[in-house]
Amino acid sequence: MTILYGRQQRPQRYFDAHFQTDAIKVLPAQYCATDEDLMLVTVLGSCVSVCLHDPQAGVGGMNHFILPGKGHDTRMEPARFGTGAMALLLSALFELGARRQRLQATLCGAGNVLSGLSSARIGQANADFVHTFLRDEHIRVIAQDLLGQHARRLHFFPARGNALVYRVEPLPDAPNGTDLPAGLSHPARRKSDRRPDSA
């Protein structure tokens, strides 16, 4: 069993008592790819996570990028930006035996979670970037939960390819109750669902 991640990362691995499975937190500017039957977890505002899965190889992975495109400061982590985050995740998956033509993508995040226009612009730019990137790379999107005014907690099971999304309560004036696209599960919220899992 293999777990691949960035050179500067220290995976935060823990046992999730609710799901009764090993889990790894994927923080902003990180990525993780694996053939293990575990759970990848992240929390998203205007950032985006792309979950990729090859059902034939039984491998998958998740990234968490903050801004679209390429960064101009080489001192910053490549996975902070969409282009670097996608390249690193794809490279790790190919190393584990995935093939581009078999990859399936699940997208999550890009929320307008802060007051003002900057968060909305960043979220929209991230969503636009990831759609363009995946279209150009001929990677099929099977499910997505993007934009809106919710923060989200995403659980992805890379060996199986299924995802679970918890939407964090929106701002008081934000609409609620929108349906999730097919392929993403949205469990009923409980008080315990409103905070990230503790390690």
Instruction: Read off the CATH number of the domain in which 133 is found.
Output: 3.30.1330.200
Other CB atoms within a 10 A radius of the CB of residue 62 amount to: 28
Number of domains in the chain: 1
SS3 content of the chain, % helix, strand, coil (to 5): 20, 35, 45
Residue 85 lies inside a defined structural domain of this protein: yes
Residue 111 above 70 pLDDT? yes
Query: CA–CA separation, 117 vs 37, rounded Å?
Result: 40
In whole angstroms, give the CA distance from residue 4 to residue 100.
17
In 3-state terms, what secondary structure has residue 174? coil
Residue 72 is predicted with a pLDDT of 59
Query: Is 172 part of a structural domain of the chain?
Result: yes
Domain assignment present for 12: no
Structural domain boundaries enclosing 59 = 23-185
Go through 145-180 and write b for each residue having 16 or more CB atoms within 10 A of its CB, e for each that does not: bbbbbbbbbbbbbbbebbbbbbbbebeeeeeeeeee
Q: Rounded distance, CA 44 to CA 92, Å?
A: 22
Task: Assess if residue 110 is contained within a domain.
Answer: yes
Query: What's residue 152's pLDDT?
Result: 96
Residue 91: inside a domain, yes or no? yes
Q: For 72-106, how does the pLDDT look when each residue is reduced to its tens digit (9 = 90+)?
A: 555 567 789 999 999 999 999 999 999 999 999 99
Please give the helix or strand (H or E) that residue 130 lies within, else none: helix 117-136
Q: Percentage of residues in the chain with pLDDT exceeding 70?
A: 77
Residues 94 and 146: their CA atoms lie apart, in Å, by 26
Residue 42 lies in a domain: yes
Return the number of other C-beta atoms located less than 10 Å from residue 79's C-beta. 28
Report the predicted TM-score, pTM, of the whole model to 2 decimal places.
0.82
- Whether 190 has a pLDDT exceeding 50, the answer reads no
Domain-embedded: residue 112: yes
Is residue 197 in a domain? no
Query: Is the distance from CB of 22 to CB of 142 less than 8 angstroms?
Result: no
